[in-house]
């Protein structure tokens, strides 16, 4: 595929901030859909441009995992950076949960386990390759259905950061930021596990532990203080094992927080991988 020349833009999906536009596109010859991420570099600072370029370069070097959105290609055209990515045909987890709530339904236990297990495996892979995602949230968990089976695809690595460099920048959704992002001068991969715990909380409770009421600095400060000072509100759920794991992932002391190695050593996780393999695509995890 000759990148954008072979694609026909089908529709505007959404705008991400003021500089990024997301399109759905079709390769008519192959009848395959893609996501085209168009980033306007005109009014961006040099730091933001470098961050955008980093995302493209990062995909080229590191994305080789079944639960991370596949990179197709990228190039810079004057003041535009074009990134072409794999398309997920069932949308994102946030919208999926919203629809479930609208229909007065809950997420099935096996699906929660599938998303949790594959999400933790993707983080294990990134961290092994010395990269922290730093923007784990339901909106960045995409679902793709192939022959009746759902696949998880984690995307939007614009905040992904090489761990060989010190992590100090305040990034990611307010609701998913780990306490040490506020209290420490620097942080590391543990922030991804906290955010994964928040995603699990949302799958169980259908809401964030600390909900945003407005996009203001005052509201950001309120959420910051809640994350730092308060315990997460209790969840009423019959899925006690998932609730316990959520609590281990959201321990405020990052040194005591569960990591991917500890997670995959749990007997319940090993058993669940075997249990859900007929329903979900977890072949890469079956020993």
* 230 to 53, 181, 207: CA distances (angstroms): 38, 15, 17
Token pair for residue 104? 């007065």
Could you say which of 6, 27, 40, 135 is catalytic? 135
Task: Find out whether 191 and 178 touch, Cβ atoms under 8 Å.
Answer: yes
| CA-angle at 10, arms to 6 and 15, nearest 5° | 110
Domains and CATH numbers, the chain: 3-86 (3.30.200.20), 93-280 (1.10.510.10)
In total, the chain counts a number of residues equal to 287
> Could you give the dihedral angle defined by the CA atoms of residues 204, 206, 211 and 214, in that order, rounded to the nearest 10 degrees?
160
Nearest to 34 by CA among 95, 89, 92, 80: 89
Q: Which residues of 69-99 are buried (b: 16+ CB within 10 A; e: fewer)?
A: bbbbbbeeeeeebbbbbbbbeeebbeebbee
CB 156 within 8 A of CB 122: no
C-alpha of 149 from chain center? 20
- Contact in structure between 232 and 209 (CB atoms under 8 Å): yes
Q: Coil, strand or helix: which one is 167?
A: strand
Residue 212 has a CB neighbour count (10 Å cut-off) of 14
Contact of 158 with 55, CB cutoff 8 Å: yes
E strand spans, the chain: 8-16, 20-27, 32-40, 71-77, 80-86, 131-132, 141-146, 149-154, 161-162
- The reply to whether 135 belongs to the active site is yes
The two three-digit tokens of residue 221, written as one number: 């400060």
Q: Determine if the pTM surpasses 0.85.
A: yes
Tell me the pLDDT of the chain (287 aa) as tens digits: 455 667 777 666 656 666 788 888 888 888 889 988 888 888 777 777 777 677 667 666 667 899 999 888 888 788 888 888 899 999 999 999 999 999 999 899 999 999 999 999 999 999 998 888 888 999 999 999 988 889 999 987 654 444 444 444 545 677 888 998 887 666 788 999 999 999 999 999 999 998 888 778 888 899 899 999 999 999 999 999 999 999 999 999 999 999 999 999 999 999 999 999 989 988 788 66
| Contact between 131 and 166 (Cβ < 8 Å) | no
């Amino acid at each position: 595929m000759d990148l954008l020349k072979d694609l026909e833009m089908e529709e505007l999906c959404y705008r991400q901030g003021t500089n990024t536009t997301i399109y759905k596109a079709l390769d008519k010859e192959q009848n395959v859909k893609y996501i085209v991420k168009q980033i306007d570099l005109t009014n961006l600072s040099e730091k933001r441009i470098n961050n955008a370029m980093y995302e493209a370069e990062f995909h080229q070097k590191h994305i080789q995992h079944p639960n991370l959105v596949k990179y197709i290609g990228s190039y810079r055209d004057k003041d535009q950076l074009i990134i072409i990515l794999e398309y997920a045909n069932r949308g994102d987890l946030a919208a999926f949960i919203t629809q479930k709530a609208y229909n007065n339904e809950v997420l099935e236990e096996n699906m929660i386990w599938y998303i949790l297990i594959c999400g933790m495996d993707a983080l294990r892979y990134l961290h092994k390759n010395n990269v922290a995602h730093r923007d784990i949230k339901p909106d960045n968990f995409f679902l793709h259905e192939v022959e009746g089976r759902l696949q998880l695809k984690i995307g939007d690595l614009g905040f992904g950061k090489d761990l060989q460099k010190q992590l100090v920048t305040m990034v990611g959704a307010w609701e998913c930021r780990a306490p040490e992002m506020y209290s420490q001068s620097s942080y590391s991969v543990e922030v991804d596990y906290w955010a994964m715990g928040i995603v699990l909380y949302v799958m169980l409770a259908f809401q964030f532990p600390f909900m945003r009421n407005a996009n203001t600095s005052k509201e950001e400060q309120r959420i910051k203080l809640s994350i730092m000072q308060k315990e997460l509100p209790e969840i009423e759920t019959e899925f006690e094992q998932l609730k316990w794991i959520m609590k281990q992932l959201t321990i405020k002391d990052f040194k005591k927080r569960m990591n991917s190695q500890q997670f995959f050593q749990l007997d319940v996780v090993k058993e669940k991988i075997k249990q859900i393999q007929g329903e979900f695509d977890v072949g890469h995890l079956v020993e």
